[in-house]
Each structure stands twice: as C-alpha cells, then as structure tokens.
Amino acid sequence: MLKINNLQAGIEGKQILKGIDLEVKPGEVHAIMGPNGSGKSTLSSVIAGREDYEVSAGNIDFEGEDLLDLDADERAHKGIFLSFQYPVEIPGVTVTNFIKTAINETRKARGEEPMPANIMLKKMREKMGLLEIDNTFLSRSLNEGFSGGEKKRNEIFQMAMLEPKLAILDETDSGLDIDALRIVANGVNKLKSKDNAIIVITHYQRLLDYIVPDFVHVLHKGKIVKSGDKNLAMELEERGYDWLKEGVEA
C-alpha cells in the first residue's frame, strides 16, 4: 500500500529526514516512535503533503502512484488521512458543515454524487456512538473552544466519517486523559480492517497498550534506527532511547 524509499526532506534549508525506508501493507498497524526532534511529525507532514517541506530525494509510492506528484487535497482523495497533533480552529464553520464539505469534495474528486443528507446524518450518528460524542458537538464551530480531548476525538470522528485507506495518527495520545485515550483508541480499533492501514506516531508506549502495533520503528535524527514488533515499544518504555542513540552515534 505505502512504500517509502530513501525519503530525504527538510524545511527552510535544514534537512530533517535523512533517508527513510518504510513499507506498510493493508491491515497493518505501524508505530513510529522516537525522541523529540527525531523527525516524526516531519514524516507525517511530508506524507500528507504539507508544502512547507522540501523533498530532496526519494519517493513515496501509494498504491502504485508517487504521492509527491500530488497536492495535499489530492492525496486525501486517494485515501490518506492525517490526525493532527494540533488541530486548527475554524470559527463559524460547524463540525457538520466541515465534514459534509470534506466528504462531498472528496466524492466530487472521485466523480461521485454528493452524499444524500439522510445517509450522511445516519452515518454521523453511528460514528458518534462509536466515539461517545454527543449531539451538541456537531453544531459547534470546528475545534473552537474544544478541550484537548475533544479536539482529538473530533479528529478520529472525521477519520471515521472519511474512511481512509491509510490513517496517520500524529501524537493522538498527547493531551488525552486515560478515559479519553481509551475511547479514542477503541474507536480507532473498531475502524481497523484488513483493507486499511494505520501509522501511529507517538512518544510513549501508553497508546500502544490500546492500539497494538504489528511493527514498531524507532526514528532518530531522521533515520529509522531500529524496527521490531510490539516488544520493542516495551523495551523503549523501560530503557528509554539513549541506548539506541549511542548505537547510531558510535
């Protein structure tokens, strides 16, 4: 599904990613861990198509197409979803209106008719139940005055509505208390299928207790320095990152 080859990218002349290789197949959950400044968020931004970042080498193949040739909205139309670490506020635009626009713009790009209002509403109700969101949520301005937990829940709600093939969860656990974390993680787990894939970006093991990864990769100084299964995450939790850093720097 996703094949990243020797990806090198940076911002304002500063190189951050120094040759990333990663393959994600349908049905898999990958966790990317690493200390602050290792390039985790840069990687998610580059996959999603944020224009501030310059790609100097490598490519990102998504179902046979090079993502780097596409704009961010076109990548979204192909089924790529990024759950933001810091979701932005859009005053005056309700959650409903935003999601409706997102779904229908995506359908338009795919040559489909807009989703009928009753089907959209039914779907919203169903997904709201999944994430324990109440009705008043829908008519609030997007992320305006939302608590940290509400913002993250809203991200996963959008993911549930848009049904992406590849979802990247960028530090979705940050700012969540343990109850919210459980709800969000349960939501994500229910959305998992053999046809879609998830990349979880996180500092901590905590989220991975709920969303269990098939693969764990450690990012350090713009490179994946170690890959393993879920046990690697446990080991990191116990030993920290230093032992890996030493390995690289030596």
Partner 1 sequence: MKTEESYLEEVTASEYKYGFYTDIEADKVPPGLNEDVIKLISAKKNEPEWMTEWRLDAYRKFLKMTEPKWPNVSYPEPDLQAISYYSAPKRKKELESLDEVDPELLKTFEKLGISLEEQKRLSGVAMDVVVDSVSVKTTFKEKLGELGIIFCSMSEAIQEHPDLVRKYLGTVVPKSDNYYAALNSAVFTDGSFCYIPKGVRCPMELSTYFRINEAGTGQFERTLVVADEGSYVSYLEGCTAPQRDENQLHAAVVELVALDDAEIKYSTVQNWYPGNKEGKGGVYNFVTKRGMCERNAKISWTQVETGSAVTWKYPSCILKGENSVGEFYSVAVTNNFQQADTGTKMIHLGKNTKSTIISKGICAGKSNGSYRGLVKIGPRAQDARNFSQCDSLLMGSSCGSHTFPYIETQNKSAKVEHEATTSKIGEDQIFYCNQRGIGEEEAIALIVNGYCKDVLNQLPMEFAVEAQKLLAISLEGSVG
Applying CB under 8 A, which residues contact partner 1? 48-52, 54, 71-73, 76-77, 81-82, 84, 87-88, 90-93, 97-98, 101-103, 105-106, 109, 141-142, 158, 162
CB of 32 to partner 1, least distance (A): 18
The SS3 assignment for 189 reads helix
Between the two ends of the chain, the Cα-to-Cα distance in Å is 34
The secondary structure of 119-159 as a DSSP string is HHHHHHHHHHHHTT--GGGGGSEETTT--HHHHHHHHHHHH
- Nearest CB to partner 1, comparing residues 52 and 238: 52
- Output 71 or 229, the one with its CB closest to partner 1: 71
Q: Which is nearer to partner 1, 151 or 226 (CB)?
A: 151
Phi then psi dihedrals of residue 148, to 5 deg: -55, -45
Question: How near is the Cβ of 107 to partner 1 at its closest, in Å?
Answer: 9
The DSSP 8-state label assigned to residue 52 in this structure reads T
Q: How far is the CB of 228 from partner 1 (least distance, A)?
A: 30
CB of 78 to partner 1, least distance (A): 10
Q: How far is the C-alpha of 235 from the C-alpha of 116, rounded, in Å?
A: 49
Report the residue number, 45 or 205, with the smaller CB distance to partner 1. 45
Q: Are 33 and 170 in contact (CB under 8 A)?
A: no
Exposure b/e, 222-241, CB count within 10 A at least 16 = b: bbbbbeeebebbebbeeeeb
CB of 93 to partner 1, least distance (A): 4
Nearest approach in angstroms of CB 76 to partner 1 is: 4
Between residues 140 and 223, which has the closer beta carbon with respect to partner 1?
140
Q: Closer to partner 1 at the Cβ: 101 or 147? A: 101
